[in-house]
């Protein structure tokens, strides 16, 4: 006869057992800006007015005043930025990076770590490619420029909302 599972055993078999790290931050930087020869951390702090602007543009809460931003350069020329974020999928965090051009348009989206048991299809290049060239004001909504993936609706929606938030932050604070 099998013994009942203990709480410790159940905790060990949680959904985080599905966690997959696809890229490190450094690998994502190189993937997004392969022509860059150096990256500089450029932490970003939003003030109250900027947070209100982000919320108005993105249609979602700005969520945080502090953002982990990395500027990509080729020699002395700014190529753009990589902004790192985490959103909740259904139950677990999805870590991702958004590459932005100096005009605040999306260059590339990379999934760094996916911890859910379902919905990992958001990692597919064809789905992520939908973000390229979009801004906070243009088509960064599931069903209106970004296709949903059956079985990954929450992951699609939350990552898309996160990318739109980051694009709004770029428009408010980073756009050249």
The number of folded domains in the chain is: 1
Q: Does residue 81 lie within any of the structural domains?
A: yes
Residuewise pLDDT in 10s, the chain (176 residues): 445 544 444 344 444 456 789 999 999 999 999 999 999 999 999 999 999 999 999 999 999 999 999 999 999 999 999 999 999 988 899 999 999 999 999 999 999 999 988 888 999 999 999 999 999 999 999 999 999 999 899 999 999 999 999 999 999 999 87
The domain in which residue 68 lies consists of 17-174
Q: Does residue 66 lie within any of the structural domains?
A: yes
Q: Does residue 101 lie within any of the structural domains?
A: yes
Q: Does residue 10 lie within any of the structural domains?
A: no
Q: Does residue 32 lie within any of the structural domains?
A: yes
The C-alpha angle with vertex 28 and arms to 27 and 30, in degrees rounded to 5, equals: 65
């Amino acid at each position: 006869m099998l013994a009942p599972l203990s709480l410790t055993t159940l905790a060990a078999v949680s959904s985080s057992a599905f966690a997959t790290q696809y890229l490190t931050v450094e690998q994502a930087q190189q993937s997004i800006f392969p022509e860059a020869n150096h990256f500089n951390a450029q932490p970003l702090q939003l003030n109250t007015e900027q947070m209100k602007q982000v919320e108005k543009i993105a249609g979602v809460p700005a969520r945080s005043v502090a953002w982990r931003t990395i500027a990509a350069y080729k020699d002395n020329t700014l190529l753009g930025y990589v902004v790192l974020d985490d959103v909740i999928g259904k139950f677990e965090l999805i870590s991702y990076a958004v590459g932005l051009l100096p005009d605040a348009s999306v260059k590339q989206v990379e999934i760094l770590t996916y911890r859910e048991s379902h919905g990992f299809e958001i990692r597919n290049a064809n789905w992520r490619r939908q973000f390229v060239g979009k801004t906070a004001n243009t088509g960064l909504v599931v069903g209106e420029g970004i296709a949903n993936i059956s079985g990954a609706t929450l992951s699609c929606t939350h990552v898309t909302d996160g990318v739109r938030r980051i694009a709004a932050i770029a428009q408010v604070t980073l756009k050249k």
